[in-house]
Structure 1
Protein backbone atom coordinates (compact mmCIF):
# COMPACT_ATOMS: atom_id res chain seq x y z
CA UNK A 1 0.00 0.00 0.00
CA UNK A 2 1.30 3.49 -0.74
CA UNK A 3 2.46 5.39 2.30
CA UNK A 4 0.19 8.15 3.62
CA UNK A 5 1.69 11.53 4.36
CA UNK A 6 0.86 12.33 7.96
CA UNK A 7 1.16 15.88 9.19
CA UNK A 8 0.78 16.97 12.78
CA UNK A 9 -0.85 20.18 13.94
CA UNK A 10 2.55 21.46 15.07
CA UNK A 11 4.06 20.98 11.60
CA UNK A 12 1.16 22.69 9.88
CA UNK A 13 1.29 25.56 12.38
CA UNK A 14 5.03 26.00 11.81
CA UNK A 15 4.66 26.06 8.03
CA UNK A 16 1.79 28.51 8.14
CA UNK A 17 3.57 30.77 10.62
CA UNK A 18 6.79 30.80 8.60
CA UNK A 19 4.86 32.40 5.74
CA UNK A 20 1.93 34.26 7.27
CA UNK A 21 3.77 36.21 9.99
CA UNK A 22 6.40 37.67 7.60
CA UNK A 23 3.57 38.42 5.16
CA UNK A 24 1.86 40.70 7.67
CA UNK A 25 5.06 42.70 8.22
CA UNK A 26 5.78 43.03 4.50
CA UNK A 27 2.18 43.96 3.71
CA UNK A 28 2.12 46.59 6.48
CA UNK A 29 5.21 48.25 5.00
CA UNK A 30 3.78 48.30 1.48
CA UNK A 31 0.43 49.61 2.70
CA UNK A 32 1.91 52.58 4.59
CA UNK A 33 5.11 53.58 2.77
CA UNK A 34 5.12 56.33 0.11
CA UNK A 35 4.89 55.52 -3.61
CA UNK A 36 3.70 51.91 -3.14
CA UNK A 37 1.28 52.71 -0.34
CA UNK A 38 -0.64 55.42 -2.16
CA UNK A 39 -4.07 55.16 -3.70
CA UNK A 40 -2.45 55.16 -7.16
CA UNK A 41 -1.42 51.54 -6.57
CA UNK A 42 -4.48 49.28 -6.16
CA UNK A 43 -4.71 47.32 -2.93
CA UNK A 44 -4.87 44.06 -4.84
CA UNK A 45 -1.57 44.85 -6.57
CA UNK A 46 0.03 45.69 -3.23
CA UNK A 47 -1.25 42.42 -1.80
CA UNK A 48 0.13 40.40 -4.73
CA UNK A 49 3.43 42.21 -4.40
CA UNK A 50 3.53 41.44 -0.67
CA UNK A 51 2.92 37.75 -1.32
CA UNK A 52 5.63 37.68 -4.01
CA UNK A 53 8.20 39.30 -1.70
CA UNK A 54 7.30 36.97 1.15
CA UNK A 55 7.65 33.88 -1.04
CA UNK A 56 11.10 35.04 -2.16
CA UNK A 57 12.48 35.91 1.30
CA UNK A 58 10.76 33.18 3.36
CA UNK A 59 13.46 30.48 2.81
CA UNK A 60 16.24 32.79 4.06
CA UNK A 61 14.46 34.02 7.20
CA UNK A 62 15.45 32.89 10.71
CA UNK A 63 13.24 30.31 12.47
CA UNK A 64 9.72 31.55 13.17
CA UNK A 65 8.11 30.61 16.51
CA UNK A 66 5.35 28.04 16.34
CA UNK A 67 1.86 29.48 16.62
CA UNK A 68 -1.64 28.10 16.79
CA UNK A 69 -4.19 29.72 14.53
CA UNK A 70 -6.90 29.99 17.20
CA UNK A 71 -4.60 31.02 20.03
CA UNK A 72 -4.33 34.51 21.48
CA UNK A 73 -0.55 34.44 21.03
CA UNK A 74 -1.05 34.23 17.25
CA UNK A 75 -3.10 37.42 17.27
CA UNK A 76 -0.47 39.16 19.38
CA UNK A 77 2.28 38.12 16.97
CA UNK A 78 0.22 39.33 14.00
CA UNK A 79 -0.36 42.68 15.72
CA UNK A 80 3.36 42.95 16.45
CA UNK A 81 4.25 42.43 12.79
CA UNK A 82 1.69 44.99 11.64
CA UNK A 83 3.03 47.60 14.10
CA UNK A 84 6.64 46.99 13.03
CA UNK A 85 5.76 47.24 9.33
CA UNK A 86 3.60 50.34 9.82
CA UNK A 87 6.39 51.95 11.86
CA UNK A 88 8.81 51.50 8.95
CA UNK A 89 6.34 52.85 6.40
CA UNK A 90 5.38 55.89 8.49
CA UNK A 91 9.03 56.81 9.05
CA UNK A 92 9.36 57.14 5.26
CA UNK A 93 6.18 59.17 5.14
CA UNK A 94 7.81 61.71 7.47
CA UNK A 95 10.66 62.13 4.99
CA UNK A 96 8.29 62.76 2.08
CA UNK A 97 6.10 65.12 4.11
CA UNK A 98 9.12 67.38 4.75
CA UNK A 99 9.11 68.26 1.05
CA UNK A 100 5.33 68.72 1.04
CA UNK A 101 5.62 71.20 3.92
CA UNK A 102 8.43 73.00 2.07
CA UNK A 103 6.21 73.39 -0.99
CA UNK A 104 3.30 74.67 1.11
CA UNK A 105 5.50 77.31 2.77
CA UNK A 106 6.89 78.59 -0.53
CA UNK A 107 3.42 78.66 -2.09
CA UNK A 108 2.05 80.83 0.72
CA UNK A 109 5.01 83.21 0.65
CA UNK A 110 4.89 83.76 -3.12
CA UNK A 111 1.11 84.15 -3.27
CA UNK A 112 0.24 80.78 -4.79
CA UNK A 113 -1.46 79.37 -1.73
CA UNK A 114 -4.79 79.67 -3.54
CA UNK A 115 -3.53 77.55 -6.47
CA UNK A 116 -4.35 74.08 -5.22
CA UNK A 117 -5.01 70.76 -6.85
CA UNK A 118 -6.17 67.36 -5.70
CA UNK A 119 -3.30 65.14 -4.63
CA UNK A 120 -4.09 61.76 -6.26
CA UNK A 121 -1.91 59.90 -3.76
CA UNK A 122 -3.75 61.12 -0.65
CA UNK A 123 -7.04 62.42 -2.04
CA UNK A 124 -6.73 65.89 -0.47
CA UNK A 125 -6.20 69.36 -1.93
CA UNK A 126 -2.63 70.64 -1.70
CA UNK A 127 -0.78 73.60 -3.16
CA UNK A 128 0.60 73.14 -6.66
CA UNK A 129 4.15 73.81 -5.43
CA UNK A 130 3.72 71.14 -2.75
CA UNK A 131 2.56 68.64 -5.37
CA UNK A 132 5.55 69.57 -7.53
CA UNK A 133 7.93 68.88 -4.63
CA UNK A 134 6.17 65.56 -3.98
CA UNK A 135 6.70 64.41 -7.56
CA UNK A 136 10.29 65.64 -7.46
CA UNK A 137 11.22 63.75 -4.29
CA UNK A 138 9.45 60.64 -5.61
CA UNK A 139 11.54 60.65 -8.78
CA UNK A 140 14.75 61.29 -6.82
CA UNK A 141 13.92 58.49 -4.38
CA UNK A 142 13.36 55.99 -7.17
CA UNK A 143 16.33 57.18 -9.25
CA UNK A 144 18.69 56.69 -6.29
CA UNK A 145 17.29 53.21 -5.51
CA UNK A 146 15.83 54.31 -2.20
CA UNK A 147 13.09 51.69 -2.55
CA UNK A 148 15.74 48.95 -2.80
CA UNK A 149 17.31 50.17 0.44
CA UNK A 150 13.89 50.00 2.09
CA UNK A 151 13.41 46.40 0.97
CA UNK A 152 16.92 45.56 2.17
CA UNK A 153 16.17 46.99 5.63
CA UNK A 154 12.84 45.15 5.65
CA UNK A 155 14.51 41.79 4.99
CA UNK A 156 17.25 42.51 7.53
CA UNK A 157 14.64 43.43 10.14
CA UNK A 158 13.61 39.77 10.40
CA UNK A 159 17.14 39.05 11.71
CA UNK A 160 17.70 42.13 13.87
CA UNK A 161 14.09 42.28 15.10
CA UNK A 162 12.85 38.68 14.74
CA UNK A 163 9.24 37.62 15.00
CA UNK A 164 8.23 37.24 18.64
CA UNK A 165 11.05 39.38 20.06
CA UNK A 166 8.61 41.99 21.34
CA UNK A 167 8.29 45.72 20.66
CA UNK A 168 10.61 48.37 22.02
CA UNK A 169 8.52 51.40 22.95
CA UNK A 170 11.57 53.66 22.78
CA UNK A 171 11.61 53.24 19.01
CA UNK A 172 7.97 54.28 18.78
CA UNK A 173 8.65 57.39 20.86
CA UNK A 174 11.66 58.09 18.64
CA UNK A 175 9.36 58.04 15.62
CA UNK A 176 6.91 60.41 17.34
CA UNK A 177 9.78 62.73 18.24
CA UNK A 178 10.69 63.00 14.56
CA UNK A 179 7.53 64.99 13.87
CA UNK A 180 9.40 68.16 14.83
CA UNK A 181 12.22 67.14 12.52
CA UNK A 182 9.81 67.15 9.59
CA UNK A 183 8.86 70.79 10.16
CA UNK A 184 12.50 71.79 10.65
CA UNK A 185 13.60 69.96 7.51
CA UNK A 186 10.85 71.62 5.49
CA UNK A 187 11.95 75.05 6.70
CA UNK A 188 15.59 74.37 5.90
CA UNK A 189 14.71 73.28 2.37
CA UNK A 190 13.06 76.57 1.49
CA UNK A 191 14.93 78.94 3.78
CA UNK A 192 16.78 80.68 0.88
CA UNK A 193 13.54 81.15 -1.04
CA UNK A 194 11.72 82.46 2.04
CA UNK A 195 14.54 84.92 2.76
CA UNK A 196 14.55 86.23 -0.82
CA UNK A 197 10.76 86.62 -0.85
CA UNK A 198 10.92 88.42 2.49
CA UNK A 199 13.35 90.93 1.00
CA UNK A 200 10.95 91.44 -1.92
CA UNK A 201 8.01 92.07 0.42
CA UNK A 202 10.08 94.49 2.52
CA UNK A 203 11.00 96.37 -0.66
CA UNK A 204 7.33 96.67 -1.58
CA UNK A 205 6.61 97.97 1.91
CA UNK A 206 9.28 100.65 1.56
CA UNK A 207 7.87 101.63 -1.85
CA UNK A 208 4.38 101.94 -0.38
CA UNK A 209 5.69 104.13 2.40
CA UNK A 210 7.73 106.32 0.06
CA UNK A 211 5.03 106.73 -2.60
CA UNK A 212 1.55 106.17 -1.12
CA UNK A 213 -0.12 107.17 -4.39
CA UNK A 214 1.16 103.98 -6.04
CA UNK A 215 -1.32 101.11 -6.09
CA UNK A 216 1.16 98.60 -4.79
CA UNK A 217 -1.37 95.78 -4.65
CA UNK A 218 -1.97 95.86 -8.41
CA UNK A 219 1.72 95.48 -9.23
CA UNK A 220 2.99 93.79 -6.09
CA UNK A 221 1.04 90.56 -6.36
CA UNK A 222 1.99 89.61 -9.97
CA UNK A 223 5.56 90.78 -9.41
CA UNK A 224 5.88 88.71 -6.22
CA UNK A 225 4.49 85.73 -8.09
CA UNK A 226 6.98 86.09 -10.96
CA UNK A 227 9.92 86.70 -8.66
CA UNK A 228 8.85 83.72 -6.55
CA UNK A 229 8.92 81.45 -9.58
CA UNK A 230 12.37 82.77 -10.55
CA UNK A 231 13.69 82.26 -7.01
CA UNK A 232 12.21 78.77 -6.88
CA UNK A 233 13.84 77.94 -10.23
CA UNK A 234 17.22 79.15 -8.98
CA UNK A 235 17.02 77.26 -5.67
CA UNK A 236 16.07 74.02 -7.43
CA UNK A 237 19.57 73.91 -8.86
CA UNK A 238 20.80 72.87 -5.41
CA UNK A 239 17.94 70.51 -4.57
CA UNK A 240 20.11 67.40 -4.88
CA UNK A 241 22.53 68.62 -2.20
CA UNK A 242 19.53 69.31 0.05
CA UNK A 243 17.89 65.99 -0.72
CA UNK A 244 20.86 63.73 0.01
CA UNK A 245 21.41 64.52 3.74
CA UNK A 246 17.68 64.30 4.42
CA UNK A 247 17.44 60.95 2.61
CA UNK A 248 20.46 59.60 4.49
CA UNK A 249 18.97 60.66 7.82
CA UNK A 250 15.59 59.15 6.94
CA UNK A 251 17.14 55.80 5.95
CA UNK A 252 19.31 55.81 9.08
CA UNK A 253 16.16 56.30 11.12
CA UNK A 254 14.68 53.36 9.26
CA UNK A 255 17.65 51.18 10.24
CA UNK A 256 17.69 52.34 13.84
CA UNK A 257 14.01 51.48 14.27
CA UNK A 258 14.74 47.81 13.50
CA UNK A 259 18.24 47.83 15.05
CA UNK A 260 19.83 47.18 11.67
CA UNK A 261 23.48 47.93 10.93
Structure 2
Protein backbone atom coordinates (compact mmCIF):
# COMPACT_ATOMS: atom_id res chain seq x y z
CA UNK A 1 0.00 0.00 0.00
CA UNK A 2 2.79 2.40 0.93
CA UNK A 3 4.65 1.47 -2.25
CA UNK A 4 1.61 2.24 -4.41
CA UNK A 5 1.10 5.62 -2.68
CA UNK A 6 4.73 6.51 -3.32
CA UNK A 7 4.36 5.58 -6.99
CA UNK A 8 1.21 7.70 -7.31
CA UNK A 9 2.95 10.63 -5.61
CA UNK A 10 5.96 10.22 -7.88
CA UNK A 11 3.77 10.27 -11.01
CA UNK A 12 1.92 13.32 -9.68
CA UNK A 13 5.20 15.19 -9.18
CA UNK A 14 6.14 14.36 -12.76
CA UNK A 15 2.88 15.82 -14.09
CA UNK A 16 2.81 18.89 -11.83
CA UNK A 17 5.86 20.62 -13.40
CA UNK A 18 4.55 20.86 -16.97
CA UNK A 19 1.08 21.61 -15.63
CA UNK A 20 2.40 24.72 -13.86
CA UNK A 21 3.73 26.14 -17.12
CA UNK A 22 0.62 25.20 -19.10
CA UNK A 23 -1.79 26.49 -16.45
CA UNK A 24 0.01 29.83 -16.24
CA UNK A 25 -0.11 30.12 -20.02
CA UNK A 26 -3.83 29.32 -20.20
CA UNK A 27 -4.55 31.77 -17.36
CA UNK A 28 -2.66 34.74 -18.85
CA UNK A 29 -3.06 34.30 -22.60
CA UNK A 30 -5.66 36.49 -24.28
CA UNK A 31 -7.61 33.89 -26.27
CA UNK A 32 -8.00 31.07 -23.73
CA UNK A 33 -8.57 33.31 -20.69
CA UNK A 34 -11.91 34.71 -21.88
CA UNK A 35 -15.09 33.93 -19.98
CA UNK A 36 -16.30 31.52 -22.68
CA UNK A 37 -13.40 29.21 -21.71
CA UNK A 38 -14.27 28.63 -18.06
CA UNK A 39 -11.97 27.37 -15.33
CA UNK A 40 -13.00 23.71 -15.69
CA UNK A 41 -12.10 23.66 -19.37
CA UNK A 42 -8.72 25.30 -18.70
CA UNK A 43 -7.89 22.91 -15.86
CA UNK A 44 -8.88 19.87 -17.91
CA UNK A 45 -6.97 21.13 -20.95
CA UNK A 46 -3.88 21.95 -18.88
CA UNK A 47 -3.90 18.58 -17.13
CA UNK A 48 -4.40 16.67 -20.39
CA UNK A 49 -1.51 18.45 -22.10
CA UNK A 50 0.69 18.11 -19.01
CA UNK A 51 0.02 14.36 -18.87
CA UNK A 52 0.88 14.10 -22.56
CA UNK A 53 4.14 15.99 -22.05
CA UNK A 54 5.08 13.93 -19.01
CA UNK A 55 4.76 10.72 -21.06
CA UNK A 56 7.00 11.97 -23.87
CA UNK A 57 9.77 13.80 -22.01
CA UNK A 58 12.11 12.91 -19.19
CA UNK A 59 10.90 15.15 -16.36
CA UNK A 60 13.45 15.63 -13.54
CA UNK A 61 12.40 14.64 -10.04
CA UNK A 62 12.40 17.85 -8.02
CA UNK A 63 10.95 18.13 -4.54
CA UNK A 64 8.45 21.05 -4.67
CA UNK A 65 8.88 21.65 -0.91
CA UNK A 66 12.62 22.25 -1.19
CA UNK A 67 14.32 25.55 -2.04
CA UNK A 68 15.11 24.37 -5.56
CA UNK A 69 11.52 23.24 -5.95
CA UNK A 70 10.13 26.66 -4.98
CA UNK A 71 12.48 28.35 -7.44
CA UNK A 72 11.36 25.95 -10.15
CA UNK A 73 7.68 26.65 -9.38
CA UNK A 74 8.17 30.39 -9.90
CA UNK A 75 10.27 29.69 -13.00
CA UNK A 76 7.58 27.56 -14.67
CA UNK A 77 4.90 30.13 -13.84
CA UNK A 78 7.15 32.87 -15.27
CA UNK A 79 7.61 30.94 -18.52
CA UNK A 80 3.86 30.47 -18.92
CA UNK A 81 3.24 34.12 -18.01
CA UNK A 82 5.76 35.32 -20.61
CA UNK A 83 4.23 33.20 -23.36
CA UNK A 84 0.77 34.44 -22.40
CA UNK A 85 1.85 38.09 -22.44
CA UNK A 86 2.94 37.74 -26.07
CA UNK A 87 -0.65 37.15 -27.13
CA UNK A 88 -1.90 39.77 -24.68
CA UNK A 89 0.14 42.44 -26.50
CA UNK A 90 -1.34 41.35 -29.84
CA UNK A 91 -4.86 41.54 -28.41
CA UNK A 92 -4.10 44.91 -26.83
CA UNK A 93 -3.26 46.22 -30.31
CA UNK A 94 -6.88 45.52 -31.34
CA UNK A 95 -8.19 47.35 -28.26
CA UNK A 96 -5.96 50.39 -28.78
CA UNK A 97 -6.98 50.50 -32.46
CA UNK A 98 -10.64 50.49 -31.43
CA UNK A 99 -10.02 53.28 -28.94
CA UNK A 100 -8.29 55.38 -31.61
CA UNK A 101 -11.12 54.82 -34.10
CA UNK A 102 -13.79 55.53 -31.47
CA UNK A 103 -12.04 58.75 -30.47
CA UNK A 104 -11.87 59.90 -34.07
CA UNK A 105 -15.54 59.09 -34.72
CA UNK A 106 -16.80 60.60 -31.47
CA UNK A 107 -17.90 57.27 -30.02
CA UNK A 108 -15.61 57.31 -26.99
CA UNK A 109 -18.61 57.57 -24.69
CA UNK A 110 -20.13 54.36 -26.12
CA UNK A 111 -18.27 51.92 -23.88
CA UNK A 112 -18.83 48.33 -22.85
CA UNK A 113 -17.62 46.49 -19.78
CA UNK A 114 -15.18 43.77 -20.87
CA UNK A 115 -14.15 41.42 -18.03
CA UNK A 116 -10.76 40.89 -19.70
CA UNK A 117 -9.91 44.39 -20.93
CA UNK A 118 -12.00 46.59 -18.62
CA UNK A 119 -14.15 49.47 -19.84
CA UNK A 120 -13.44 49.61 -23.58
CA UNK A 121 -15.27 51.25 -26.53
CA UNK A 122 -17.65 49.26 -28.69
CA UNK A 123 -15.27 49.46 -31.67
CA UNK A 124 -12.57 47.87 -29.49
CA UNK A 125 -14.94 45.02 -28.73
CA UNK A 126 -15.56 44.62 -32.44
CA UNK A 127 -11.83 44.52 -33.25
CA UNK A 128 -11.24 42.12 -30.37
CA UNK A 129 -13.88 39.71 -31.70
CA UNK A 130 -12.50 40.10 -35.23
CA UNK A 131 -8.98 39.39 -33.96
CA UNK A 132 -10.19 36.24 -32.19
CA UNK A 133 -11.91 35.00 -35.36
CA UNK A 134 -8.80 35.70 -37.44
CA UNK A 135 -6.67 33.91 -34.83
CA UNK A 136 -8.86 30.82 -34.96
CA UNK A 137 -9.28 31.01 -38.73
CA UNK A 138 -5.53 30.94 -39.39
CA UNK A 139 -5.09 28.00 -36.99
CA UNK A 140 -3.45 30.11 -34.32
CA UNK A 141 -4.66 27.87 -31.50
CA UNK A 142 -2.86 24.91 -33.07
CA UNK A 143 0.29 26.96 -33.68
CA UNK A 144 0.33 28.28 -30.12
CA UNK A 145 -0.24 24.87 -28.54
CA UNK A 146 2.47 23.44 -30.76
CA UNK A 147 4.92 26.12 -29.61
CA UNK A 148 3.96 25.63 -25.97
CA UNK A 149 4.53 21.89 -26.22
CA UNK A 150 7.80 22.52 -28.08
CA UNK A 151 8.89 24.83 -25.26
CA UNK A 152 9.47 21.80 -23.03
CA UNK A 153 12.18 20.67 -25.46
CA UNK A 154 13.67 24.12 -26.05
CA UNK A 155 13.48 25.15 -22.38
CA UNK A 156 13.57 21.93 -20.33
CA UNK A 157 12.29 21.91 -16.79
CA UNK A 158 15.12 22.94 -14.51
CA UNK A 159 16.86 25.16 -17.07
CA UNK A 160 17.15 28.95 -16.42
CA UNK A 161 14.88 31.04 -18.63
CA UNK A 162 14.76 34.74 -17.80
CA UNK A 163 17.69 36.95 -18.80
CA UNK A 164 18.46 40.55 -19.71
CA UNK A 165 18.13 39.68 -23.40
CA UNK A 166 14.66 38.27 -22.73
CA UNK A 167 13.65 41.50 -20.98
CA UNK A 168 14.83 43.52 -23.97
CA UNK A 169 12.83 41.33 -26.36
CA UNK A 170 9.70 41.77 -24.26
CA UNK A 171 10.09 45.57 -24.21
CA UNK A 172 10.61 45.64 -27.98
CA UNK A 173 7.59 43.41 -28.52
CA UNK A 174 5.40 45.68 -26.38
CA UNK A 175 5.80 48.37 -29.07
CA UNK A 176 3.64 46.16 -31.34
CA UNK A 177 0.66 47.22 -29.23
CA UNK A 178 0.93 50.71 -30.74
CA UNK A 179 2.31 49.77 -34.16
CA UNK A 180 -0.42 47.20 -34.80
CA UNK A 181 -3.08 49.62 -33.54
CA UNK A 182 -1.78 52.33 -35.88
CA UNK A 183 -1.87 50.00 -38.88
CA UNK A 184 -5.42 48.85 -38.13
CA UNK A 185 -6.86 52.29 -37.32
CA UNK A 186 -4.94 54.29 -39.95
CA UNK A 187 -7.56 54.25 -42.80
CA UNK A 188 -10.36 55.54 -40.58
CA UNK A 189 -8.18 58.03 -38.71
CA UNK A 190 -6.70 59.57 -41.88
CA UNK A 191 -10.12 59.90 -43.55
CA UNK A 192 -11.68 61.51 -40.49
CA UNK A 193 -8.67 63.81 -40.15
CA UNK A 194 -9.33 65.28 -43.61
CA UNK A 195 -13.03 65.61 -42.79
CA UNK A 196 -12.17 67.49 -39.59
CA UNK A 197 -9.88 69.79 -41.58
CA UNK A 198 -12.74 70.47 -44.02
CA UNK A 199 -15.14 71.15 -41.15
CA UNK A 200 -12.59 73.54 -39.71
CA UNK A 201 -12.50 75.53 -42.93
CA UNK A 202 -16.31 75.59 -43.01
CA UNK A 203 -16.49 76.78 -39.41
CA UNK A 204 -13.94 79.48 -40.17
CA UNK A 205 -15.78 80.65 -43.29
CA UNK A 206 -19.24 80.63 -41.65
CA UNK A 207 -18.88 81.26 -37.89
CA UNK A 208 -22.65 81.47 -37.44
CA UNK A 209 -23.11 77.91 -38.69
CA UNK A 210 -23.44 75.31 -35.93
CA UNK A 211 -20.76 72.98 -37.25
CA UNK A 212 -21.22 70.42 -34.46
CA UNK A 213 -24.73 69.64 -35.63
CA UNK A 214 -23.39 68.67 -39.04
CA UNK A 215 -19.95 67.43 -38.05
CA UNK A 216 -20.77 64.71 -35.54
CA UNK A 217 -23.24 62.77 -37.75
CA UNK A 218 -20.88 63.13 -40.71
CA UNK A 219 -17.93 61.78 -38.72
CA UNK A 220 -19.88 58.80 -37.39
CA UNK A 221 -21.40 57.92 -40.76
CA UNK A 222 -18.12 58.31 -42.64
CA UNK A 223 -16.24 56.34 -39.99
CA UNK A 224 -18.56 53.35 -40.33
CA UNK A 225 -18.43 53.49 -44.12
CA UNK A 226 -14.62 53.56 -44.17
CA UNK A 227 -14.54 50.83 -41.52
CA UNK A 228 -16.68 48.59 -43.75
CA UNK A 229 -14.67 49.23 -46.90
CA UNK A 230 -11.33 48.72 -45.11
CA UNK A 231 -12.41 45.45 -43.48
CA UNK A 232 -10.40 43.30 -45.89
CA UNK A 233 -7.21 45.26 -45.24
CA UNK A 234 -7.86 45.20 -41.50
CA UNK A 235 -8.18 41.41 -41.54
CA UNK A 236 -4.84 41.16 -43.36
CA UNK A 237 -3.21 43.51 -40.85
CA UNK A 238 -4.62 41.61 -37.88
CA UNK A 239 -3.33 38.40 -39.42
CA UNK A 240 0.10 40.03 -39.77
CA UNK A 241 0.04 41.03 -36.08
CA UNK A 242 -0.72 37.45 -35.04
CA UNK A 243 2.00 36.12 -37.35
CA UNK A 244 4.49 38.46 -35.68
CA UNK A 245 3.29 37.21 -32.29
CA UNK A 246 4.03 33.61 -33.31
CA UNK A 247 7.51 34.57 -34.53
CA UNK A 248 8.28 36.48 -31.33
CA UNK A 249 7.01 33.62 -29.19
CA UNK A 250 9.29 31.23 -31.05
CA UNK A 251 12.25 33.58 -30.60
CA UNK A 252 11.51 33.78 -26.88
CA UNK A 253 11.79 30.03 -26.69
CA UNK A 254 15.22 30.16 -28.28
CA UNK A 255 14.28 28.41 -31.53
CA UNK A 256 15.95 29.30 -34.80
TM-score (normalizing by structure 2): 0.93
d(CA) in 2 for partners of 1:216, 1:165: 64
The answer to whether the aligner puts 1:163 opposite 2:196 as a matched pair is no
User: Aligned-pair RMSD on alpha carbons?
Assistant: 2.0
Aligned counterpart, 1:136: 130
Of residues 41, 55, 79, the one that matches 1:45 is 41
What is the match of residue 108 of structure 1? 103
User: Which residues of structure 2 form unaligned runs of 5+?
Assistant: none
Paired residue for 1:175?
170
Residue equivalent to 2:32: 36
Q: Hey, what does 1:60 align to over in structure 2?
A: 56
Residue 193 of structure 1: how far off its partner (Å): 1.4
Are the equivalent residues in 2 in contact too, given 1:25–1:82 (CA < 8 A)? yes
- Structure 1 portions without partners, runs of 5+: none
Please say which structure displays the higher CA radius of gyration: 1
1:13/1:69 contact within 8 Å kept: no
Task: Note if 1:246 corresponds to 2:241.
Answer: yes
1:56-93 Cα offsets, whole Å, 9 max, x none, are 232112x2222124211111111111000110011111
What does residue 16 of structure 2 align with?
Answer: 20
Structure-1 residue corresponding to 2:223: 228
SS in structure 2 of the partner of residue 219 of structure 1: helix
Q: Of residues 189, 193, 198 in structure 2, which corresponds to 1:194?
A: 189
Please give the per-residue CA displacement for 1:115-153, whole angstroms capped at 9, x wherever unaligned.
Answer: 11111434x211000000000000110111101101000
> Is the CA contact 1:17–1:64 (under 8 Å) kept in the aligned structure 2?
no
Please tell me whether the aligned partners of residues 28 and 84 of structure 2 are also in contact (alpha carbons under 8 angstroms).
yes
Report how many residues are paired. 255
SS at match of 2:208: coil
What TM-score, normalized to structure 1? 0.91
Structure 1 distance, partners of 2:193, 2:5, is 73
